Chain A
Amino acid sequence: MSITRTSAVPNSTGEPAVVRWLLTGIALTFIFLFLIIPVAAVFAEAFARGFAGYVKALKDPLAVSAIKLTLLTAGIAVPLNMLFGVAAAWAIAKFEFPGKNILVSLIDLPFAVSPVIAGLIFVLLYGTYGLLGPWLVKHDIKIIFAVPGIAIATIFVTFPFVARELIPLMQLQANDEEEAATTLGARGWQTFFRITLPNIKWGILYGVILCNARAMGEFGAVSVVSGHIRGQTNTMPLHIEILYNEYNFTAAFAVASLLLMLSLITITLKSLLERRIHQGRYSR
């Protein structure tokens, strides 16, 4: 049976059916055990006390302030990293300059550094006994254990997403169109807005979505610089941990389910975009 099928439709791997079924089965079992059941469990626990309990948990003032802070943090970190990402990718893909390789490596640094260390870096820098501490204390500027510190830590952690997404894309597109525009008399900014930007808009969006997902979900770095003041410096992930530690499982999972829904929306958008990007590439 399997032999006839193989000969009729030659399959690229040439593995027997048993192996194929086994591999598929293992993959599906893993997906079920490690992805689907846990996600379902979060929602099951979130609704353990009914829909009213779910809504009540999300309407709690502390939960609301955590949600607001998370949105605010993402609202600061994502646009800034988008600007940086476009600038960096543009510079790296379209120009030659000394130190380019170092810049490319440095952009990846936040991916390589553990978030806890990322947080501690800012305590070392902005803490009372940190490098800039005495100056900040003198001028009564609060960075860590306040919203600016959380934003800075989030920016650091989500730094590479947009740039990393754009660099290969822009390198792939080469400079032909920009050169053509320049020959036709376009100035630098004109070239950028008319040629470069339209070419990379889907890539930017893709990077922004990933950046946003991480910005909202970041725990480690934010935990170090937050100070955990309820209603003030607790983001959603930190709030979830606190609720869990207070035996308040329903509320913890209600907030968790909200964060999870944001992630699900993110991956849906992401896969839609992926299709769009591929179509764009091939239609050109």
Chain B
Amino acid sequence: MVRQIIISLFIMAVISGPAVPASAADITLLNVSYDPTRELYQDFNAAFAKYWQSKKGAKVTINQSHGGSGKQARAVIDGLEADVVTLALAYDIDAIQKSNLIAENWHKRLPHNSSPYTSTIVFLVRKGNPKGIMDWNDLIRPGISVITPNPKTSGGARWNYLAAWGYILKQKGGDERQATEFITRLYKNVPVLDSGARGSTITFMERGIGDVLLAWENEALLAIKETGKGNFKIVAPSISILAEPPVAVVDKIVDKRGTRAVAQAYLDYLYTTEGQEIAARNYYRPRMESMAKKYAKQFPKLKLFTIDEVFGGWQKAQKTHFSDGGIFDRIYQPGK
């Protein structure tokens, strides 16, 4: 009896076989990305595989891994063998660079600071906007419940936070002191911090918690498409931040695996007409003028400021706001 069980278990293991069927001749790439890009890269990978097949006559399979941007960077540093990383913000790629997997000049290797598409932060409110939320200053009203993920783990959450901070600095006479006070009151209205952008979207839409979700523009547009129009509405604030999610080839891995050429071509393809159109169709703002014009209608119009302009770059913003003992640690007390 026992022997039979052992045998059947071994047979089961043998039949189920290796979970990786790819033959040695095929090229595979691993793209380690952040949370909301799942649909984008699903489309893009199919298009690139077709392009590569027609150009080089070789089959390429792109594997995807998604998760919170900071967490994903951590996994790559710990040994997840990504050929390319496409993360939510430059700071996370900088972290990988610091472990010597990526060359120091990575953000200059591709056009537009190595960000082939951009996005911004908008509000998602419930049907008919019952709380009348129109702009950032509505978020700190008493009784408004705001959903945003944890800036410690989520790239999107950091963009949310910086957008709110920048809103105050861009007001007439707005200074750091006012911004600190504003952000303190804002996070007093946050009942729960999810670890990633997608988690927050689910909290807001599926669990029905909160009056307003601070979301990636692409995430908000996709969520409305997925759940049917009418239940939710996008509100564009008067001003927001230009989010530039960057991409990079992981030098050490592609050199080891011999995939540099295809990995480079993969990222370059993001900048082509076809790549830009796929980005736009998945609600990312394309960099290419012609595509931006073609898809202008689907994006709300709002004033955008960059992180370099208001915060002096990611390194500085990270250190001031999100590092241990930074402003976020001082202003946020869970459960209060």
Report the separation of the CA atoms of residues A172 and B199 in the bound assembly, to the nearest whole angstrom: 50
Chain B interface residue count, Cβ-Cβ cutoff 8 angstroms: 36
Q: Which residues of B contact A147 (CB under 8 A)?
A: 18-20
Report the separation of the CA atoms of residues A10 and B87 in the bound assembly, to the nearest whole angstrom: 71
Q: Mark B53-94, 1 if CB is under 8 A from A, else 0.
A: 000000000011111000000010111110000000000000
Stretch at the interface among A1-9, A24-32, A123-131: A123-131
| Number of A-B residue pairs at CB separation under 8 A | 90
Whether B30 and A229, one on each chain, are in contact in the complex, defined by CB atoms closer than 8 angstroms, is: yes
Whether A65 and B2, one on each chain, are in contact in the complex, defined by CB atoms closer than 8 angstroms, is: no
Report the separation of the CA atoms of residues A244 and B203 in the bound assembly, to the nearest whole angstrom: 12
Closest to B196 in A: A245
**A207 to B: closest C-beta gap in Å:** 11
Report the separation of the CA atoms of residues A208 and B8 in the bound assembly, to the nearest whole angstrom: 13
Q: Which residues of A contact B2 (CB under 8 A)?
A: 197, 201, 204-205
**A2 to B: closest C-beta gap in Å:** 46
Whether A75 and B10, one on each chain, are in contact in the complex, defined by CB atoms closer than 8 angstroms, is: yes
Whether A232 and B13, one on each chain, are in contact in the complex, defined by CB atoms closer than 8 angstroms, is: no
Whether B78 and A129, one on each chain, are in contact in the complex, defined by CB atoms closer than 8 angstroms, is: yes
Whether A230 and B63, one on each chain, are in contact in the complex, defined by CB atoms closer than 8 angstroms, is: yes
Q: Mark B12-42, 1 if CB is under 8 A from A, else 0.
A: 1100111110000000001000010011000
Whether A133 and B79, one on each chain, are in contact in the complex, defined by CB atoms closer than 8 angstroms, is: yes
With A227-B65, A228-B67, A230-B64 as contacts: A79 and B10 at CB distance below 8 Å: yes
Say yes or no: is B261 at the interface (Cβ < 8 Å to chain A). Answer: no
Whether A229 and B64, one on each chain, are in contact in the complex, defined by CB atoms closer than 8 angstroms, is: yes
Q: Mark A39-83, 1 if CB is under 8 A from B, else 0.
A: 000000000000000000000000001001101100110110010
Report the separation of the CA atoms of residues A163 and B199 in the bound assembly, to the nearest whole angstrom: 38
Report the separation of the CA atoms of residues A142 and B80 in the bound assembly, to the nearest whole angstrom: 9
Say yes or no: is A15 at the interface (Cβ < 8 Å to chain B). Answer: no
**Chain A contact residues (Cβ within 8 angstroms of B): what range?**
35 or more
Whether A79 and B63, one on each chain, are in contact in the complex, defined by CB atoms closer than 8 angstroms, is: no
With A75-B10, A79-B10, A82-B6 as contacts: A232 and B77 at CB distance below 8 Å: no
Q: Which residues of A contact B6 (CB under 8 A)?
A: 79, 82
Report the separation of the CA atoms of residues A233 and B67 in the bound assembly, to the nearest whole angstrom: 14
Say yes or no: is A96 at the interface (Cβ < 8 Å to chain B). Answer: no
Say yes or no: is B158 at the interface (Cβ < 8 Å to chain A). Answer: no
Say yes or no: is A152 at the interface (Cβ < 8 Å to chain B). Answer: no
Whether A79 and B19, one on each chain, are in contact in the complex, defined by CB atoms closer than 8 angstroms, is: no
Whether B65 and A228, one on each chain, are in contact in the complex, defined by CB atoms closer than 8 angstroms, is: yes
**B28 to A: closest C-beta gap in Å:** 9
Ordered by A's residue number, 21 sampled pairs between the chains whose C-beta atoms are within 8 Å are A69-B19, A75-B9, A75-B16, A78-B9, A79-B6, A82-B6, A127-B78, A133-B79, A140-B256, A142-B81, A145-B78, A147-B19, A201-B1, A204-B2, A205-B5, A227-B65, A229-B63, A229-B80, A230-B63, A233-B19, A245-B202
Q: Which residues of B contact A (CB under 8 A)?
A: 1-2, 5-6, 9-10, 12-13, 16-20, 30, 35, 38-39, 63-67, 75, 77-81, 99, 198-199, 202, 223, 226-227, 256
- CB-CB nearest 9 A-B residue pairs: A75-B13, A127-B78, A128-B79, A69-B19, A145-B80, A71-B16, A247-B226, A227-B80, A228-B65
